[in-house]
Amino acid sequence: MTKGKLILITGPSGVGKGTIVRELLNRHSQLYLSISATTRSPRPGEVNGKDYYFVNPCQFEAMIASQTLLEWAEYTGNYYGTPRQQVETKIEQGRWVILEIEVQGARKIKKNFSNTLSLFILPPSFAELEHRLRNRGNNSDTDIHKRLEQAKLELQAAVEFDYQIINDDLDAALQRIETVIFSECSQ
């Protein structure tokens, strides 16, 4: 059996990673999304075990201590991490696993997994990124400010990743991402 592939999709909050990943999963059954764990509260409509594993800080720290996470990071006051077992199992089964994670975690994965395809999603402009964050309607002004400050740092990291894709038009961005994934992963 052919080993699977790890595909990182990263970029600042509000750039459209979640929308892109949902569309990729709808279009391509061979892709599997790794579900991250987080200590942040669920947003309206998010489901535990589908969108994230929502855990409290003590549970997350136990996951860190037991080394059951591939990577983890603190982001805007909350922990986020990737449970190890589901990713390793799916890759051994030959699946292509997508990790939709923040930049800190993506850096750790790239460092520890040499056979990783990494894509950095960029906004068309910083003003558009702010507009998207504000239009979500589920973040406080304080949280939006933190995310924008973090985004300034993260945007500088784009060159560290294999491909940079501007999400200026969803369909066009998806087409560019599909071209990258299916040309790289089938080699």
Nearest to 165 by CA among 152, 154, 153, 178: 178
CATH superfamily of domain region 5-184: P-loop containing nucleotide triphosphate hydrolases (3.40.50.300)
Taking only the tens place, the pLDDT of each residue in 38-92 is: 999 998 899 999 999 999 999 999 999 999 999 998 887 899 999 999 999 999 9
What percentage of the chain exceeds 90 in pLDDT? 79
Concatenated DSSP letters of 121-185: EE-S-HHHHHHHHHHH--S-HHHHHHHHHHHHHHHTTGGGSSEEEE-SSHHHHHHHHHHHHHHHT
Q: For the sheet containing 116-122, what is the strand order?
A: 31-33, 96-100, 5-10, 116-122, 163-166
The pLDDT of residue 113 is above 90: no
Q: Which one has a higher pLDDT value, 185 or 31?
A: 31
Long-range contacts of 86-91 (CB under 8 A, 24+ apart): 86/34, 86/35, 87/6, 87/34, 90/4, 90/32, 90/34, 91/3, 91/4, 91/5, 91/6
**d(C-alpha 87, C-alpha 92), whole Å:** 9
Entry field: residues in the chain? 187
Task: Give pTM, 2 decimals.
Answer: 0.87
pLDDT band at 7 (very low <50, low <70, confident <90, very high): very high
**d(C-alpha 10, C-alpha 41), whole Å:** 21
pLDDT band at 187 (very low <50, low <70, confident <90, very high): low
**109 has which bridge partners?**
none
